[in-house]
Amino acid sequence: MATASAPKIFRNYINGEWVEARGGKVIEDRNPANTDELVGMFPASGAEDVERAVEAAKAAYNKWRLTPAPKRAEILFHAAEILVARKEDYSRDMTREMGKVLAETRGDVQEAIDMTYLMAGEGRRQFGHTTPSELPDKFAMAVRSPIGVAGLITPWNFPMAIPSWKAMPALICGNTVVLKPAEDTPLSTYNLTQVLAEAGLPPGVLNVVFGYGPDAGAPMLNNPDVGLVSFTGSTEVGRIVSQACAPTFKKCHLEMGGKNIIIVMDDANLDLAIEGAVWGGFGTSGQRCTAASRVAVQKGVYRQFVEKFVARVKALKVGDGLDPATHMGPCINEQQLQTVIKYVDIGSAEGAKLSAGGHRLETGVHARGWFHEPTVFTDCDPEMRVCQEEIFGPVVSVIPFDSFDDAISIANGVKYGLSAAIYTRNVNQAFRAQRDLETGIVYVNAPTIGAETHLPFGGTKNTGNGHREAGLAALDFYSEWKTVYVDYSDKLQRAQIDN
């Protein structure tokens, strides 16, 4: 079992076997709450390993494509049941390598379970269209057709949920997979892979290559045998992925940054909005692409909101996510912590008022981890860098505004478009907001985080490139439409001419 306390050496999963990386280099998976704890050692794979994995996926494709989807689904269903049985162990493993609190890692594993059951159900659906032909004795339909080898590159903040968001729809549609998980959280992907293997996934259908992005992710992008790529991560890396996919016309799905907002109107249930802002801003230490890193509050309730919100944030307990008393865990690694520290300086220098937090925590129980205080800037101008740029850490910027129209233009005045929320009791305002907010996800009276697996997930502008994951939208990415005409008239019938 992967939960053993002694550090274990892990391998890649290629063609149904656990194999060493060619180069023999390793990456240490350490606990961000206590870097003395070595969770495991994972291969630092390179181009050759990726090539082997793609070859295995390519070789397995034809048989998997021809396996009836309901049969593919049985394997996924079985995998979901194994995940349910191991949820607690896998959640603990995830907290140890990722740092977020146990309630949240349980949610992450649950999200993987939900997605796996959902896509198992799609084994008996994957509906296409039938439609009348314009000609007599002719049948017309559009069916979903798999694409080939799917290259998946996943982040560390949802180490089991996001790999499952990508792998499950890819598999149910009949593709085979090469997955490169984030180097900070490989154990959770290892656990997921183990489950799929035990559930009976044939060799080569899912291959996992551990390592750093430039070494183990990039080689997938220009491999001619990879038909589609799905990437979740930063906008900067997303651009590189997109450009690398262009020469070979790979279908490419990008899920990137966010600068999500909670709008609090004067008529809102203020306590509910505060609770939502705390959860949306500091859940997962703000390390979600959906994190509510901006809160815009109408001036009638602004002072009252700030007072109560700041008090709530100051009371948050930061620590080891395995401790039930902890509200917020560490940042994932030193670099992420340094980014947070840098933005606290930037915010202070540009005149935002530091109202809570603002410092690294590095003594006592925090001495061995990448902890930072939950931090709130108030009286912010929407154009400040702390209100424009994604920080991906526990920093929330609070912005006062006058009118509903001001709130919408502040909300839309960023280059990202993932998630937005409005707290109001006015149904007209709620509906106008859902129409006018330029984001892929809108919440009314709930924070910006908390997407469910059976609805489309993704964003506009610099957040995405027009595709969505999760829900039925995922099937559109992981399959291609094939339009089929069957003429049973026994004569040549010319469309547009003979009808």
Catalytic residue, candidates 245, 252, 289, 331: 289
Cβ neighbourhood burial of 477 (10 Å; 0-12, 13-18, 19+): buried
Binding flag, residue 288, ligand UN1 (CB under 6 A): yes
Task: For residues 320 and 318, give the distance between their C-alpha atoms in angstroms, rounded to a whole number.
Answer: 7
Min dist. Cβ of residue 284 to ligand UN1 (A): 7
At a CB cut-off of 8 Å and minimum separation 6, what does 437 contact?
408, 411, 412, 420, 422
Q: 61 or 231: whose CB is closer to ligand UN1?
A: 231
Task: Please provide the distance, in angstroms rounded to a whole number, between the alpha carbons at the two ends of the chain.
Answer: 66
Nearest to 98 by CA among 181, 166, 203: 181
Min dist. Cβ of residue 85 to ligand UN1 (A): 22
Task: For residues 148 and 125, give the distance between their C-alpha atoms in angstroms, rounded to a whole number.
Answer: 20
Min dist. Cβ of residue 279 to ligand UN1 (A): 10
Are 299 and 353 within 8 A, CB to CB?
no
Strand ranges, E, within 101-216: 129-132, 138-145, 149-153, 176-180, 206-208
Residues 58-117 that bind ligand UN1 (CB under 6 A): 111
Report the run of H or E that residue 75 belongs to, with start and end: helix 69-98
- Kindly report the CA angle at 452 between 395 and 152, in degrees rounded to 5? 80
Min dist. Cβ of residue 283 to ligand UN1 (A): 8
Q: 72 or 100: whose CB is closer to ligand UN1?
A: 100
Q: 193 or 463: whose CB is closer to ligand UN1?
A: 463
The strand pair at 17-19 and 416-417 is best described as: unpaired
The widest CA-to-CA distance across the chain, in whole angstroms, is: 85
CA 197 from centre of chain: 23
Q: 7 or 450: whose CB is closer to ligand UN1?
A: 450
Are 270 and 306 within 8 A, CB to CB?
no
> By CB under 6 A, how many residues form the interface with ligand UN1?
10
Task: For residues 39 and 185, give the distance between their C-alpha atoms in angstroms, rounded to a whole number.
Answer: 10
Binding flag, residue 290, ligand UN1 (CB under 6 A): yes
Q: 112 or 408: whose CB is closer to ligand UN1?
A: 112
Binding flag, residue 241, ligand UN1 (CB under 6 A): no
Task: For residues 448 and 485, give the distance between their C-alpha atoms in angstroms, rounded to a whole number.
Answer: 45
Instruction: Point out which span in 204-212, 285-293, 316-324, 481-489 binds ligand UN1 (CB under 6 A).
Output: 285-293
Does the active-site annotation cover 452? no
Min dist. Cβ of residue 270 to ligand UN1 (A): 23
Residue with tokens 């590159």: 153
Does the active-site annotation cover 380? no
Catalytic residue, candidates 55, 183, 255, 390: 255
Q: 13 or 158: whose CB is closer to ligand UN1?
A: 158
Per-residue interface string for the shown chain with ligand UN1, residues 311-350, x marking contact by CB under 6 A: ----------------------------------------
Min dist. Cβ of residue 495 to ligand UN1 (A): 45
Among 13, 64, 158, 478, binds ligand UN1 (CB under 6 A): 158
Q: 176 or 230: whose CB is closer to ligand UN1?
A: 230
Nearest to 29 by CA among 96, 76, 77, 74: 96
- Kindly report the CA angle at 411 between 410 and 415, in degrees rounded to 5? 100
Instruction: Point out which span in 56-64, 287-295, 327-335, 481-489 binds ligand UN1 (CB under 6 A).
Output: 287-295
Write down the H helix ranges in 185-298.
186-198, 218-221, 235-245, 270-282
Per-residue interface string for the shown chain with ligand UN1, residues 439-468, x marking contact by CB under 6 A: ----------xxx-----------------
Min dist. Cβ of residue 328 to ligand UN1 (A): 15
Residues 11-50 that bind ligand UN1 (CB under 6 A): none
Residue 202 is classified by DSSP as P
Min dist. Cβ of residue 275 to ligand UN1 (A): 16
Q: 197 or 418: whose CB is closer to ligand UN1?
A: 418
Binding site for ligand UN1 (CB under 6 A): 111, 157-158, 232, 288-290, 449-451
Task: Kindly list the catalytic residues.
Answer: 255, 289
